Amino acid sequence: MKRVLQAGLAAVVAWRLFGPTLTPRFSKGQVHPWKIPATTVFIGGREFAVRETGDPTGPDVVLIHGLGGSSITEWYEVGPLLAESFHLIIVENRNHGLSPRVTGRHDVADVADDVAAVMEQLGVASAHVVGYSMGGAVAQSLAHRHPAKVERLVLIATFLFHRPLLRWARTVGVYIARAWERATGTGTPEVRAGYLLATGAVESRHARFIWEETHRRDPEAGAAASLALFRFDSRPWIGDIEDPTLVIVPGRDQLVPVSWQRDLANRLPNARFVEISGARHEVVWTHAERVAGLVTDFLAEDPAS
């Protein structure tokens, strides 16, 4: 048995050192779902990718993606619908997409500061802000740290903080996943892309796109972003956010318990809560029209209402 394990380990090491990098075979007819070229802006010494689209005369809306996503990956279903009425600004967060890798410790507050700085560089004094999953945590922090920059807030499938037991379990999982990815070169991107395709959240004709976008990361950057999210806790200041807020909750969210999302809505002074029945965490893909409709109606309301 010992010799078998040694031989297996040697084979893995040899493959990692000398073997080719394998990629899946994609079916014919692969298409990119939303071709919006990225531009970049410098924040300090780092270059951040940002995309703009939609009605240039419409209200500014900043879209903030979630953990492991990118400016296109999580918004290509909802974004085109919003672009009919709004000018969209879609930032790629640090450690995601085409933006810089920051492998040292950082917090969600640092990501919020990045978004605020990008807005400054683009000359956007204030905007509506829509955050999905981790992007919802970033949006909360942006509203707290830079209140003048946020007009209305939409939080989708997100939370206030991690309960201790789940935070511990997910933190351990991050270190295990990072070790696996270091050793094998595969891991979280394959799981994420595979899940979205297997469940039908992402159409098979977008398989190559989702695979390539999900692989724009490395184990260190992914772990740093995950740990920042697990440390996030907005309870000390969430009651100070007075912006009108819409909390959109997938009714069958498997990653962020619905009770957590209700708790978030209840602690915000000026929030309403809408549940999308039957939706899971991948709601921005599976229920795009419903999400876009809710966001559009909410952002189009008379400020006096």
- Write the DSSP symbol of residue 148: G
**44 torsion bin: left (phi>0), alpha (psi -120 to 50), beta (else):** left
Task: Look at residue 16 and tell me if it is in a domain.
Answer: no
305 in a structural domain: no
Tell whether 110 is covered by a domain.
Answer: yes
R_g (Cα) of the chain, nearest Å: 20
CATH number at residue 145: 3.40.50.1820
Q: Quick one: tokens of 18?
A: 């000398």
Distance from C-alpha of 56 to C-alpha of 213, rounded to nearest angstrom: 27
Q: Does a structural domain hold residue 11?
A: no
- pLDDT, tens digit (0-9, with 9 covering 90-100), for 182-214: 888 888 888 999 999 999 999 999 999 999 998
Domain containing residue 43: 25-299
Q: How many CB atoms lie within 10 A of CB 85?
A: 17
Mean pLDDT of the chain: 92
Q: Taken in order 101, 105, 111, 116, is the CA torsion positive or negative? A: negative
In a domain, 17, yes or no: no
Any domain includes 253: yes
**pLDDT for 31-90, tens place per residue?**
999 999 999 999 988 999 999 999 999 999 999 999 988 999 999 999 999 999 999 999
Q: How many structural domains compose the chain?
A: 1
Residue 163 lies in a domain: yes
Strands 127-132 and 39-43: unpaired
Q: CA–CA separation, 224 vs 220, rounded Å?
A: 6
pTM assigned to the model:
0.93
- What are the tens digits of pLDDT across the range 243-282? 999 999 999 999 999 999 999 999 999 999 999 999 999 9
Of 18, 77, 20, 22, the residue nearest 215 (C-alpha): 22
Decide if 35 is inside a domain: yes
